[in-house]
């Protein structure tokens, strides 16, 4: 029997969530070492030279970067398809995935979530309220304006569910942990798409694991996940001492 796929990365991360949703939808057996960003040991550094999550290990084969991992899963496990069949739609889906991973993430994750959650609770530093204010009032609205112009009035972006829909919803799920919600009056298409995707069984399953660990200290999260039935690895690459990586999550 082939070894289970292993994911290294925390349930709270939107990049990790994107990969986990793909695994769930494709019904691929996996286990996860849910280390938080910035707490991997030296072995983690060898597996992820930029110290990013997620990392996928498939029978000794190691992959970094959530977009690379999702495309690998699509090619190795093609059903159900999570990338559009039409070549132009497929390219556009990949572009929107890239846009969420970079431009949307810059405001939602690295200016909002990082300041309110990671910086405060992982590094014990004071939140920069000016950065948070600019993210809420300038950065995030600009990205929502663009996404609103790209989304259909109803349904998923390209008919069937795609990686683009999954990516967008993944980032807003993490932003909700610091009480950010899309203004459905100003951006109705964005709000509707995110609600539709997050209502899927795969998202809801992961949400139960996210919720059980959300406000616990790092030292208690693994135990809570085991109790909740999460498919955890028997060992971990996590440490108790955070250290910054050379780059952000991916």
Q: Are residues 105 and 180 in the same domain?
A: yes
250 occurs within a structural domain = no
For the cut 50, the answer to whether the pLDDT of residue 203 exceeds it is: yes
For the chain, what is the domain count? 2
Q: Are residues 97 and 173 in the same domain?
A: yes
Owning domain of residue 34? 5-81+207-228
Mean pLDDT over residues 177-205, rounded? 98
Give the whole-number percent of the chain exceeding pLDDT 90.
80
0.95 exceeded by pTM = no
- The answer to whether residues 226 and 233 touch, using CB atoms and an 8 Å cutoff, is no
Q: What is the CATH number of the domain that holds 16?
A: 3.40.30.10
Q: Are residues 77 and 180 in the same domain?
A: no
H/E element, 58: strand 55-58
The CA angle 110-115-119, to the nearest 5 degrees, is: 105
Contacts of 53 (CB under 8 A, 6+ apart): 8, 9, 10, 13, 15, 16, 35, 37, 40, 249, 250
Q: What is the pLDDT of residue 243?
A: 63
Q: What is the pLDDT of residue 219?
A: 83
234 occurs within a structural domain = no
Q: Are residues 183 and 218 in the same domain?
A: no
Nearest to 172 by CA among 194, 157, 154, 150: 194
3-state secondary structure labels for all residues of 18-40: HHHHHHHHCCCCEEEECCCCCCE
Q: Are residues 133 and 194 in the same domain?
A: yes
237 occurs within a structural domain = no
Three-state secondary structure call for residue 83: coil
Mean pLDDT over residues 103-119, rounded? 91
Q: Are residues 91 and 194 in the same domain?
A: yes
Give the pLDDT confidence of 13-62 residue by residue, as tens digits.
999 999 999 999 999 999 999 998 778 889 999 999 998 999 999 999 99
Three-state secondary structure call for residue 234: coil
- The answer to whether residues 204 and 25 touch, using CB atoms and an 8 Å cutoff, is no
Q: Are residues 64 and 97 in the same domain?
A: no
Taken as a whole, the chain contains a residue count of: 250
Mean pLDDT over residues 207-222, rounded? 91
Q: Are residues 97 and 74 in the same domain?
A: no
The CA angle 91-93-94, to the nearest 5 degrees, is: 65
Q: Are residues 69 and 106 in the same domain?
A: no
Three-state secondary structure call for residue 150: helix
Residue 210, exposed/middle/buried by CB under 10 A (0-12, 13-18, 19+)? buried
Q: What are phi and psi of 53, to 5 degrees?
A: -120, 150
Q: Are residues 128 and 25 in the same domain?
A: no
Question: Token pair for residue 198?
Answer: 């997050």
């Amino acid at each position: 029997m082939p070894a289970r796929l292993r994911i290294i990365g925390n349930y709270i991360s939107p990049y990790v969530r994107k990969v986990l949703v793909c695994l769930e939808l494709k019904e691929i057996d996996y286990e996860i070492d849910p280390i938080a960003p910035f707490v991997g040991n030296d072995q983690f550094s060898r597996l992820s030279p930029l110290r990013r999550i997620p990392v996928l290990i498939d029978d000794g084969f190691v992959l970094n970067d959530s977009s690379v991992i999702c495309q690998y899963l699509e090619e190795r496990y093609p059903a159900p398809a999570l990338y559009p069949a039409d070549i132009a739609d497929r390219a556009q889906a990949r572009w929107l995935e890239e846009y969420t991973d970079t431009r949307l993430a810059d405001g939602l994750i690295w200016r909002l979530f990082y300041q309110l959650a990671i910086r405060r609770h992982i590094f014990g530093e004071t939140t920069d309220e000016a950065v948070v204010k600019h993210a809420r009032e300038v950065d995030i609205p600009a990205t929502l304006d663009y996404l609103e112009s790209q989304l259909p009035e109803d349904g998923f972006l390209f008919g069937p569910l795609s990686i683009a829909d999954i990516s967008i919803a993944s980032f807003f799920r993490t932003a909700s942990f610091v009480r950010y919600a899309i203004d459905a009056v100003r951006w109705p298409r964005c709000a509707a798409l995110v609600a539709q995707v997050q209502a899927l069984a795969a998202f809801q399953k992961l949400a139960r694991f996210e919720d059980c660990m959300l406000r616990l200290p790092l030292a208690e999260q693994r135990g809570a996940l085991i109790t909740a039935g999460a498919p955890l690895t028997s060992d971990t690459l996590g440490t108790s001492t955070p250290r910054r990586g050379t780059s952000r999550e991916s």
